Amino acid sequence: MTRFVTKEKLAELFDRLENLRLDVLYIRDSEDHRDVNLKYLTGHPEDASLFIDVKNRQTILVPWDYQLANDFAEVDQVINIMEYDGGLIPAIHETLKSIVNSNPNIGVPKAIPYYNVRTIIDQIPNAEIIYNPQEIDSILEKLRSIKSYHEITLLKKSVSISNHLVNEIEKSMTTRSQSNIESEIDLAIFVDNQMRKLGAFGPGFETLVASSARSWQIHTYPRADQLSMYRPGLALIDFGVNAEGLTSDVTLPFVVGKMNNKMKLIVETVEYAHYEAIDALKEVNFLHEVAEVAIKIIESKNF
């Protein structure tokens, strides 16, 4: 895995942060507070602190797992916390002190917990903490929103595996005696296993399966249950494939048994809204306009 950000985008980030008069941007990803910007800017999967040294235009990573960072991170420097007495926290503080002056402006995104900011203030009392989501987070979100060729390639891989899975689901559900799929949980496990066999890292999020008994819910909880998948009616599965760090998102509705007239109307309405929304992509400027096309069609049928 390499970082998703291009050299050009990284240079743009340094320029934008410089315009905000920041000396350093502090990004942290941990089990209790995930931040997608860490993986985007470094390629490192998770659990690390990242310092964007604006003045020297360098990226410095303080990972919990040094070996993992050596394998995956693309940064200017990786800090080994084992070289610091006390481990991770002293390594973070000492690294930050080494790259800032006595009165630094330290930018933090909204994902940074307050207690992390508090420890910085304790270590560098003269630091000015710049918490400005409207500026800082907007810069990061804009960088991620426009995909590079590399990102598009990875997204296509996720989508390709997803499309293959749709065929596998249909085949398994129509050959019940051979598939060993009986419950919602069975189908969820089947999909998660199959995507890995097809080359994915794993599910991009917890797979949601809803038999006809509860497919009316937007998000079922638990995500999959022991309910039979073969209860007649309308069912669905919602899954994402994480091929190499970027995730597809597929909601797949399907029919079990014969449909009554209301079910037929629901299916026809959704199918029509689906294709009209796709056609609208060629003409609109904003994504909400695509949603409005589908919504109007659905509401026109009194749903």
The DSSP annotation for 235-297 comes to EEEEE-EESSS-B--EEEEEEES---HHHHHHHHHHHHHHHHHHHHTTT-SSHHHHHHHHHHH
Confidence of residue 2 (pLDDT cuts 50, 70, 90): confident
Query: Each residue of 183-230: pLDDT tens digit?
Result: 999 999 999 999 999 999 999 999 999 999 999 988 999 999 999 999
Tell me the CATH class for 149-258.
alpha beta
pLDDT computed for residue 102 by the predictor: 79
Q: How distant is the alpha carbon of residue 182 from its chain centre? A: 30
pLDDT computed for residue 244 by the predictor: 86
pLDDT computed for residue 1 by the predictor: 54
The helix/strand/coil state of 29 is: strand
pLDDT computed for residue 142 by the predictor: 94
Query: Each residue of 22-56: pLDDT tens digit?
Result: 999 999 999 989 999 999 999 999 999 999 999 99
Arithmetic mean of pLDDT over the chain: 93
Question: What's the predicted TM-score (pTM) here?
Answer: 0.83
Determine the Cα–Cα distance for residues 124 and 97; give it in Å rounded to an integer: 8
pLDDT computed for residue 106 by the predictor: 95
Determine the Cα–Cα distance for residues 251 and 236; give it in Å rounded to an integer: 7
What are the structure tokens assigned to 223, written together? 């995500």
Mean pLDDT of 291-295: 97
Angle between helices 136-145 and 7-19 (to 10 degrees): 160
Mean pLDDT of 167-188: 91
Mean pLDDT of 93-105: 89
Q: Say if CB 121 and CB 95 are below 8 A apart.
A: no
Q: Is 254 exposed, middle or buried (0-12, 13-18, 19+ CB in 10 A)?
A: middle
pLDDT computed for residue 103 by the predictor: 87
**CATH (one of 3.40.50.150, 3.30.300.30, 3.40.350.10, 3.40.50.720) for 7-145:** 3.40.350.10
pLDDT above 90 for 140: yes
The contacts of residue 140 (CB under 8 Å, 6+ apart) are 13, 37, 40, 109
Mean pLDDT of 87-107: 90
Question: Distance from first CA to last CA of the chain, Å, rounded?
Answer: 45
How many percent of the chain have pLDDT more than 90? 82
pLDDT computed for residue 111 by the predictor: 87
Mean pLDDT of 78-106: 91
Q: Say if CB 64 and CB 80 are below 8 A apart.
A: no
Domain coordinates in residue numbering, the chain = 7-145, 149-258, 261-303
Mean pLDDT of 265-276: 96
- 241 - beta bridge partners? 203
How many percent of the chain have pLDDT more than 70? 100
pLDDT computed for residue 183 by the predictor: 96
